[in-house]
A and B are shown apart, each in its own frame.
Chain A
Amino acid sequence: MTTLFHLSHIRHNYNGRFVLDIDDLAIQRGELFAIVGPSGAGKSTLLRLLNFLESPSAGIIRYKDQATPPLDLTRQITTVFQHPILLHRSVHENVEYGLRLRDQRNDKQVDEIIARVGLAAFAASAADSLSGGERQRIALARALVLNPEVLLLDEPTANLDPHNVSLIESIIREENEQRGTTILLVTHNVFQAKRLAQRVGLMLNGKLIEVGATKDFFENPKDERTRKFVDGEMIY
Chain B
Amino acid sequence: MLEIISLTLFVSGVALIIATIIGVPLGAVLALRRVMFKKIITLILYTGMGLPPVVVGLAVYIFLSREGALGWLGWLFTPSAMITAQVIIALPIVIGLTTSAVENVNPELRLQIRSLGATPNQVMWTILSEARSGVVAAIVAAFGGIISEVGAVMLVGGNIEGSTRVLTTAIVLETRKGDFGLALALGGVLLTLTLVTNFFLLRLNKR
Interface residues of A (CB under 8 A from B): 48, 51, 53, 71, 74-75, 77-79, 81, 83-85, 87-88, 97-98, 101-102, 142-143, 146, 152
B114 within 8 A of A: yes
Partner of A101, one of B106, B109, B111, B117: B117
* A101 and B112 form a contact (CB under 8 A): no
Question: Which residue of the partner chain, among A48, A71, A97, contacts B116 with CB atoms under 8 Å?
Answer: A97
B112 x A98 contact (CB < 8 A): no
Provide 5 A-B residue pairs closer than 8 Å at the C-beta atoms, listed in order of the A residue: A53-B114, A81-B115, A97-B116, A98-B117, A146-B117
B122 touches A101 (CB 8 A): yes
Interchain Cβ contacts within 8 Å, total number? 46
CB-based contact A84/B117 at 8 Å: no
**Which chain B positions have C-beta within 8 A of A84?**
112
**Would A79 and B115 be within 8 Å (CB), given that A85-B106, A85-B109 are in contact?**
yes
| A146 touching B109, Cβ below 8 Å | no
Q: Beyond the given A78-B116, A87-B130, A146-B117, please list 8 additional residue pairs across the A-B interface where CB-CB is below 8 A.
A: A53-B114, A53-B115, A79-B115, A81-B112, A85-B106, A85-B108, A88-B130, A146-B116
Shortest distance between the CB of B197 and any CB in chain A (Å): 25
B113 at the interface (CB under 8 A from A): yes
CA distance A74 to B129 in the complex (A): 24
Q: Measuring CB to CB, which residues of chain B are less than 8 angstroms from any residue of chain A?
A: 106, 108-109, 111-119, 122, 126, 129-130
B130→A78 contact, CB < 8 A: no
Residue on A nearest B131 in the bound complex, by CB: A88
Q: How far is the CA of A97 from the CA of B113 in the complex (A)?
A: 9
Alpha-carbon distance between A84 and B109 when the two chains are bound, in angstroms: 8
Question: Which residue of A48, A51, A71 is within 8 Å of B119 (Cβ)?
Answer: A71
Contacts of B117 in A (CB 8 A): 71, 74-75, 78, 98, 101-102, 146
The 5 residue pairs across chains A and B that have the minimum distance between CB atoms: A75-B117, A98-B116, A79-B115, A85-B109, A101-B117
Complex Cα distance A112/B42, Å? 47
